[in-house]
Amino acid sequence: MKTYEDIAGDGGSNIIEQVEALGEKLRARLDRIKYKVALMSGKGGVGKSSLTANVAACLVDKGHSVGILDADLNGPSICHLLGVKNSHKLIIDDRGVQPGVGSHNIKLMSMDMLLSSPDSPVMWTEEADATAVWVSTMESTALRELVADTDWGDLDFLLIDMPPGSDRIDNIRSLIPELAGVVEITIPSPLSQHIVSKSITKNNKMKVPIIGLVENMAGYTCPHCEKEGPLFEGEDVENLAKQKNIPYLGKIPFDTRIGRKTDSGSLYYMDNKGSVTGKAINSVVEKILESIK
Amino acid sequence: MKFLCIPCDEKMETQVDGIMPEEKKNLVMKFKCKKCGHSIAMLTNKFETEFVSKLGVQVNTTAAEAAGTPLGVVSGALAEGKEELKKGAPTEEDIEWTEDAKERIQRVPFFVRNMAKKTVLSFAKERGITVIDGKLMDEVREKVGM
């Protein structure tokens, strides 16, 4: 009787060939991007997306070409931050899906660009009676398609704005094994540090390179007089970095203007480079660059 | 996975026109021995089909087609996606789908949905049918499927 190896092909489903072809497509996209950096936190609400957008602006200011992948599938915010409206027409051709182009020519891809209206939620057709396994599977597949099917072109940096939690890094790591590293973000509160500590531990165990820890919302800067004051009571975040043996990238004071574009349509960083918060963002970016180069 | 016809010692072929996935995520695939004509059916439940879907592949699609369809899976599975996303799905301009038929085809697992659509369209086209409704889909399942 014939064995598995005696029969050519894979039974007619072409699954092996399809998986190989999809892998080649993904590789071809990623090879044109020099550095891939994920910005993450175990905790939600620590300012990941606003910081990602402003780190991107800072990199552009230094002469780099930058794209952002919004990996927060269920809570996408990068389109909003970079001014790409829901009415943006999707262009899909043989090369793939054209990314949106936001402020400062930052390219981006987000689930928000695929939805029919601004308030449409990300829902899957099978979701009504789908199992948790199915939804999780669908999200993994969606993430792969967002990375592999977007025509990013040549980029110096692809920043990945991760969702809250530490589970999605597994997907990103398998899709982008050459990930330059992750930037962990926390706010000073003990609760945030407690959760981010788990995220760091997980990444260390998985041997995901950690570029360092950023202390976001580290105090409040008055936009008028630039006087600083405390925003959250908490332990020294630098200690957490020491305990976990990862670099401390610095603290970024909270500025109420950071999450929105300025009157000129720029991201906060571009119009406020000289502010306390602007300088802090630049310092963090310099340390990221030193680390990955 | 491959299927072998033991008496003939021959690989059984996937029946392209004979595949009609069950709705609600259970998948039915038919295989036939070219030599003796014996047919078998592989039946899977939704949990088994989920494992296949994780690979991002589509049943009965070539590697070139799979890799050449941007956002192929998301476009088929996103409930409130933009119109531009739907271009990749097989359509026939002169054939209309009733709401009932549209709903039923949407219930087919996304990674075999395009294949199921092609099967129904081909069935309708061969018979000169211009409107696909639930009754026709029942007929497709009865005659082409299991």
* Chain B residue nearest residue A137, CA to CA: B54
pLDDT in tens for each of the 293 residues of chain A? 888 778 776 655 666 777 788 888 899 999 999 999 999 998 999 999 999 999 999 999 999 999 999 999 999 999 999 999 988 888 988 788 999 999 999 999 999 999 999 999 888 765 556 667 667 778 888 999 999 999 999 999 999 999 998 888 988 998 999 999 999 999 999 999 999 999 999 999 999 999 999 999 988 877 788 787 887 777 789 999 999 999 999 999 988 888 776 666 789 999 999 999 999 999 999 999 999 98
pLDDT digit string (tens) for B91-145? 667 788 898 888 888 777 666 676 778 788 888 888 888 899 988 888 887 776 5
To the nearest whole angstrom, how far is the Cα of B136 from the nearest Cα of chain A? 22
Q: Which amino acid is at B50?
A: E
Three-state secondary structure of chain B: CCCEECCCCEEEEECHHHCCCCCCCCEEEEEEECCCCCEEEEEECHHHHHHHHCCCCCCCCCHHHHHCCCCHHHHHHECCECHHHHHHCCCCCCCEECHHHHHHHHCCCHHHHHHHHHHHHHHHHHCCCCEECHHHHHHHHHHCCC
Compute the C-alpha angle B58/B61/B63, nearest 5°.
Answer: 95
Q: How many domains does chain B have?
A: 1
- Positive or negative, the CA dihedral A191, A194, A195, A196 is positive
Instruction: Collect all residues of chain B within an 8 Å Cβ-Cβ radius of residue A132.
Output: none
pLDDT digit string (tens) for B35-87? 999 988 887 776 666 666 656 666 666 666 666 678 877 877 787 888 888 76
Residue B68, both tokens: 């050449």
* Chain B residue nearest residue A23, CA to CA: B67
B146 pLDDT higher than 50: no
Instruction: Collect all residues of chain B within an 8 Å Cβ-Cβ radius of residue A9.
Output: 2, 11
Q: Do β-strands A66-70 and A155-161 pair in parallel, antiparallel, or remain unpaired?
A: parallel
- Residue B76 pLDDT: 72
Strand-pairing partners, residue A12, are none
- Residue A78 pLDDT: 94
Distance CA B91, CA B79 (A): 18
Chain-chain contact of B4 with A1 (C-beta, under 8 angstroms): yes
Of A11, A92, A123, the CB nearest to B70: A92
To the nearest whole angstrom, how far is the Cα of B86 from the nearest Cα of chain A? 10
Three-state secondary structure of A56-74: HHHHHHCCCCEEEEECCCC
Chain-chain contact of B13 with A12 (C-beta, under 8 angstroms): yes
Chain-chain contact of B61 with A18 (C-beta, under 8 angstroms): yes
Instruction: Collect all residues of chain A within an 8 Å Cβ-Cβ radius of residue B80.
Output: 115-117, 120-121, 123
To the nearest whole angstrom, how far is the Cα of A51 from the nearest Cα of chain B? 28
Residue A179, both tokens: 């990930």
**Top CATH class, A33-292:** alpha beta
CB-CB contact of A277 with A47 (8 Å): no
pTM of the complete model:
0.80
Respond yes or no on whether ipTM tops 0.85. no
Chain-chain contact of A2 with B58 (C-beta, under 8 angstroms): no
Mutate to test the interface with A, among B8, B26, B28, B50 (most CBs of A within 10 A): B50
Q: Where are the alpha helices (DSSP H) in A32-168?
A: 48-61, 78-82, 132-148
Q: Residue A136: how many CA atoms within 13 Å on its side-chain side?
A: 9
Chain-chain contact of A115 with B81 (C-beta, under 8 angstroms): yes
Q: How far is CA A55 from CA A67, A170, A289, in A?
A: 11, 23, 11
Q: Which helix (H) or strand (E) holds A20?
A: helix A15-30
Of B1, B10, B70, the CB nearest to A97: B70
Query: What is the residue range of B50's domain?
Result: 4-143
- Residue A127 pLDDT: 53
Distance CA B123, CA A54 (A): 55
Give domain limits for chain A.
33-292
Phi, psi dihedrals of residue A101, rounded to the nearest 5°: -120, 115
- Residue B87 pLDDT: 63
